[in-house]
Structure 1
Amino acid sequence: AGRLWGELHEALTRRDLAAWEALLDEGARLAALRPDAAARTRLSDRLRAVAPLWADAILDRPGDAAACGDPARAAAAWRWRQAQTWLDDLHADGDLALLGRQLGDASEQARRLVLDTARRAARLGLATRLGDQERRALTGWVQALDRLGKGTGKYAPHWRAQARAHMRAAMGAVPVWIMPTYRVMESFDPGSDDLFDVVIVDESSQCDILSLGVLSLGRRAVVVGDDAQTSPEAVGIDRARVGALIDAHLPDVAQRSLLDVEASLYDTAARVFPRTVVLKEHFRCLPDIIGFSNRFYDHQILPLREDPELAIGAALRPVRVADGARTQTRFGDANPAEAQAIVDQVVACCADGAYEGMTMGVVTLLGAGQPRLIEHALVERLGEREFSRRALRVGDPYQFQGDERDVVFVSVVADDNRSAATRRRDLQRVNVAASRARNQMWVFHTVDPATLRDDDVRRQLVEYAYAGAIPQAEGRLADRCESEFERAVLREILARGYRVRPQHPVGRYRIDLVVEGSPGHPAPGHPAPGHPAPGAAGTDPAGGRARGPRLAVECDGDRFHGPDQWEADLRRQRILERLGWTFLRIRGSEFYRHPTRTLDGLWRRLDELGIRPDVGG
């Protein structure tokens, strides 16, 4: 406008009528543009406040779509930039892989600190409490127990009383006492000794009602057991006599009829204490093995062993001994043909190099003669040295309670359906037998399972073994992925020549992608096989063959792994990290925006763990 006024003054001075009229027309045109100019200024100010670079580009280079963007797509470009800004802010909290590594280091440091604190506290307590008087009392207690022996001699009551007397002075000197329940009852007197802060009873389902007194020794009690496993048996005991004693001496005790010789300490504690904590994580057996027992726990067990790719074959191996029959032998009631088949198979496994270093056990489900017959034959065939080297144990479920072996051979023994295994005690015995094997369970049976009742637990075990022995086919790698995001990451990893397992099972859990290295090549600074650090090369803890280092890659697609799922994902990750897994998480929003930069972190982590591409194809 300032320029226009100058030109009008000049036209007036020259008396140039044509120029004067042209300038007036230009002034009218500019006046008409004033609302548009005001709107432009207002809009540019608003845009500059939130997107200054874009506003300057539009004002400085009008009409240049390469610099300003296509006006027709401005709304879509604006929404895209909003999403970009949101993602930048989200990812600005830190590198997910780095945060995960820091979390793992902090968790490991906390675990070590707890162990070190407990160790130091115990030593400090022992040093401050153990004076000369307490040391003499401890020595006297040990010597009194030596004199007591089996507790059946003429002077046994005297030495038992002496041991208790010495314990009163020695009790507080030791921070933690660990002993079987019978020794506890002999050594401590709840009426005169100080109470422990906590009493912990393990395998309480095997403790009978006479063990109830141990709970009176502590201010608090933790009773650990499993009511689905073997409990005390009243073999040869007059139950009527026991009932009469209960009525005579416990007339005012509620539910006194349940305090008989078949009641376990766990059963009693479950009635008395209001809260039961269920431990669901299972680390011993392969999932195919513990899967049978899961039915006794409402399918709440969470198996966390992964398939170690053993050369011994399937985890479940059923064997039918068609010519077997129960008969009386010099060892008692037994099934000689079934016993012989088991002995032959145990000997064959011991001679098979795939079973090198594995322990073995034989569990029989019926009679006392079968385990004695099998044990006698195994010692003769293998010799005592091999029998001991394999930690071979032969017995019934009650004798195997709390024990385990790498390979277990179960002998059903029965040859017909003359009796049914449907009682609670039968379920407990079969449950113990079916959950002792870490790597492989053989089930030898003579009886045709179809002739047994549907609810006979032996039939259920045999049929489960046959069903689990059928191999399942694996599809193509890409077909096993659960999302297109996983398939995209899989293609990138395979293109580099790495070995990958999509949807790798670890118990009930699955890992999106597992990248494997070759055995025998641990990462620099990591331990050698046999002492594996997380992610490093090592040996399966249950007797598996050596494996290479591995990295668990989790593909966190924003659609399925949003904030609501993150906490559950991290809980699951911590559980698997306790099993030695090393994790790296990839967010879909990062991968699709910056694939090269995102995967650079993966390649670096693989290199750190000593995981190299499989150049041999």
Structure 2
Amino acid sequence: GTIDFDVILIDEASQCDVLGLAAFALGKKVVVIGDHEQVSPYAVGFETNRVQALVDEFLDGVPNKQLYDGKTSVYDLARQAFGGVVRLVEHFRCVPEIIEFSNQLCYGGEILPLREASTSRVYPHLIAHRVRDASSDNKTNEVEALEVASLITAMCRLEEFEDCTIGVICMVGTEQAVKIDSILRRRLSATEYRRRRILCGNASQFQGDERDVVFLSLVDTARKGEMLAVRSSDEWRRVYNVAASRARDQLWVVYSMDPSHLKKGDLRLRLVSHAEQHAAQSKRAERPNVKFESGFQKSLYQKLLELGYRVLPKYLIGEFEVDFLIQGDAGTKAVVSCDGDRIVPEASVLSKMERQQTLERLGWNFLRVGASEYLVDESRAVRRLVRKLAALKIEPMVENKADAVPKAPREDLREKIFKRADMIRSRLASADKRAVAVQASG
């Protein structure tokens, strides 16, 4: 008999070459899931002239026959052949700082990051790290490879990174990935390697995959007095889009070139600049002075602090800003929205309602306090809010206002990693010198 499904789902269709079309024969309807801004099949081993000859011989009269070249994905074929594309814009994998690069690079800022930054286990989320006195040769960079391997080894020995999975994406070929993998396998046990799900490869190998922490090794350096050739093609844009969006919690951009050796429009310069900008912002991430939009908001904030609640004003959930986030014990939390304290355009009201519906769908609890109710009877409005918080098992956490003010951001782990990595590199260098001495004496 024949296999006949009602619906066939082809996931990660951006990676499927023309052979993936065979799945269409198995179902009455087909849903093709992919992203034309991600890496397409490489058609490794295909002879272009031979493929074109076969297309001309056997596909004469077939619409868009030029697309059946082995380099066009099933997703792109489906986009050309069918209408009804549904675009999904909500993003849940990366914290907002990480996905922002791809969002601006490929999606015109239309992606809605909905992952709450506080759910990340490590901080900061973006780190730009330049390796000094390094040079590239034949798609490898020995010093940069040792640097990445040392940083990962150090990370594996810090309790803050307990159970974090780790990936390395090399932006030039796979030779650098092989070198880093070789160093790591000498420094880490097989059990640790598997537990961390360590993978070293290129962007194509990571498409559809993710890790808690990802290192990007840019590899390239320029010869003295020369500029690096611009890397800005559509193919490279897709590579950088995939590579920069595989990390859930923390992304390291490790590079050896002087950014002044990169021309305007180069994707490497854009990525390094993005990482450096956010790294600088994270260093200034002490709690800012909050500017309330009304006296009502400021008064309610003060009342909640006096009651001992942990209150975060103007809190960002993904790209959405809410008036207050109130945190309870054991991870309980709720959003408090202040209503009616200012004139709001109709479009803003609709946008706020859509935002609330989106966050409620993700499990967030919303509590609303009206300005008129608060101004008429402040105590009654606060008691009503306290009862609702209690129903959500959110209780005051402290007894005084000073302790209720949110603390500064979590500890920046960079310096701890760098110090430990320096020690590891020193031991590796000493071991290499001893090995050379033994060989010489032999």
Q: TM-score range by the shorter chain?
A: 0.7 to 0.9
CA shift, 1:510, in A, is 0.9
| Cα-Cα RMSD | 2.1
CA contact (8 A) 2:9 2:33 kept: yes
CA contact (8 A) 2:128 2:252 kept: yes
Larger fraction in helix = 1
CA shift, 1:511, in A, is 1.3
The separation in 1 between residues aligned to 2:197 and 2:87, in whole angstroms, is 31
Q: Tell me what 1:554 maps to.
A: 337
CA contact (8 A) 2:228 2:262 kept: no
CA contact (8 A) 1:209 1:264 kept: yes
Alpha-carbon distance change, 198 to 434 in structure 1, aligned in 2, over 3 angstroms: same
Q: How many residues align?
A: 393
1:610 aligns with 2:394: yes
Residue 362 of structure 1: which of 158, 162, 168 is its match?
168
Q: Secondary structure at the match of 2:280?
A: coil
Residue 387 of structure 1: which of 172, 187, 193 is its match?
193
CA shift, 1:205, in A, is 0.3
Q: Tell me what 2:236 maps to.
A: 426
CA shift, 1:475, in A, is 5.9
CA shift, 1:236, in A, is 3.3
* Amino acid in the other structure paired with 2:323: D
The separation in 1 between residues aligned to 2:159 and 2:286, in whole angstroms, is 27
Alpha-carbon distance change, 245 to 311 in structure 1, aligned in 2, over 3 angstroms: closer
* Amino acid in the other structure paired with 2:302: R
Listed as ranges, the matches of 1:87-486 within 5 Å are: 168=1, 193=2, 195-295=4-104, 296-308=106-118, 312-327=122-137, 333-416=139-222, 417-471=227-281, 472-473=284-285, 479-486=290-297
CA contact (8 A) 1:515 1:550 kept: yes
CA contact (8 A) 2:307 2:399 kept: no
CA shift, 1:563, in A, is 7.5
CA shift, 1:283, in A, is 0.6
* Amino acid in the other structure paired with 2:272: V
Residue 320 of structure 2: which of 484, 509, 515 is its match?
509
| TM-score w.r.t. length of structure 2 | 0.84
Residue 302 of structure 2: which of 484, 491, 495 is its match?
491
Alpha-carbon distance change, 562 to 601 in structure 1, aligned in 2, over 3 angstroms: farther
The separation in 1 between residues aligned to 2:77 and 2:120, in whole angstroms, is 42
* Amino acid in the other structure paired with 2:78: A
Worse overlay, 228-237 or 435-444: 228-237
Q: Secondary structure at the match of 2:367?
A: strand
Q: Tell me what 1:572 maps to.
A: 355
* Amino acid in the other structure paired with 1:359: T
The separation in 2 between residues aligned to 1:424 and 1:256, in whole angstroms, is 22
The separation in 1 between residues aligned to 2:287 and 2:136, in whole angstroms, is 45
Alpha-carbon distance change, 418 to 513 in structure 1, aligned in 2, over 3 angstroms: closer
* Amino acid in the other structure paired with 1:580: G
Q: Secondary structure at the match of 2:118?
A: coil
| TM-score w.r.t. length of structure 1 | 0.61
CA contact (8 A) 1:480 1:502 kept: no
The separation in 1 between residues aligned to 2:235 and 2:345, in whole angstroms, is 47
The separation in 2 between residues aligned to 1:564 and 1:228, in whole angstroms, is 31
CA shift, 1:382, in A, is 1.2
The separation in 1 between residues aligned to 2:16 and 2:285, in whole angstroms, is 45
CA shift, 1:560, in A, is 4.3
CA contact (8 A) 1:550 1:611 kept: no
Q: Secondary structure at the match of 1:327?
A: coil
Q: Secondary structure at the match of 1:318?
A: strand
* Amino acid in the other structure paired with 2:135: A
CA contact (8 A) 1:294 1:301 kept: yes
Listed as ranges, the matches of 1:18-57 within 5 Å are: none
The separation in 1 between residues aligned to 2:397 and 2:163, in whole angstroms, is 31
The separation in 2 between residues aligned to 1:198 and 1:575, in whole angstroms, is 28
CA shift, 1:320, in A, is 0.8
CA contact (8 A) 1:281 1:304 kept: yes
CA shift, 1:391, in A, is 1.2
CA shift, 1:497, in A, is 2.5
Unmatched segments (≥5 aa) in structure 1: 1-167, 169-192, 522-536, 538-547
Could you list the per-position Cα deviations for residues 350-373 of structure 1 after superposition, in whole angstroms to 9, with x for gaps in the alignment?
111111121111111112211111
Q: Secondary structure at the match of 1:553?
A: strand
The separation in 1 between residues aligned to 2:188 and 2:287, in whole angstroms, is 43
Could you list the per-position Cα deviations for residues 322-377 of structure 1 after superposition, in whole angstroms to 9, with x for gaps in the alignment?
2222235xxxx421111000001001111111111211111111122111111111
CA shift, 1:483, in A, is 2.9
The separation in 1 between residues aligned to 2:288 and 2:32, in whole angstroms, is 48
Could you list the per-position Cα deviations for residues 412-444 of structure 1 after superposition, in whole angstroms to 9, with x for gaps in the alignment?
111125543222221111111100111110111
Could you list the per-position Cα deviations for residues 456-481 of structure 1 after superposition, in whole angstroms to 9, with x for gaps in the alignment?
2122111111111012455655x332
* Amino acid in the other structure paired with 2:298: R
Alpha-carbon distance change, 326 to 210 in structure 1, aligned in 2, over 3 angstroms: same
* Amino acid in the other structure paired with 1:513: F
* Amino acid in the other structure paired with 1:307: A
The separation in 1 between residues aligned to 2:390 and 2:378, in whole angstroms, is 18
* Amino acid in the other structure paired with 2:125: A
CA shift, 1:212, in A, is 1.6
Could you list the per-position Cα deviations for residues 57-98 of structure 1 after superposition, in whole angstroms to 9, with x for gaps in the alignment?
xxxxxxxxxxxxxxxxxxxxxxxxxxxxxxxxxxxxxxxxxx
* Amino acid in the other structure paired with 1:435: S
The separation in 1 between residues aligned to 2:347 and 2:145, in whole angstroms, is 56
* Amino acid in the other structure paired with 2:383: D
CA shift, 1:491, in A, is 2.0
The separation in 2 between residues aligned to 1:487 and 1:498, in whole angstroms, is 15
Q: Secondary structure at the match of 2:117?
A: coil
CA contact (8 A) 1:606 1:612 kept: no
Q: Which structure has the bigger radius of gyration?
A: 1
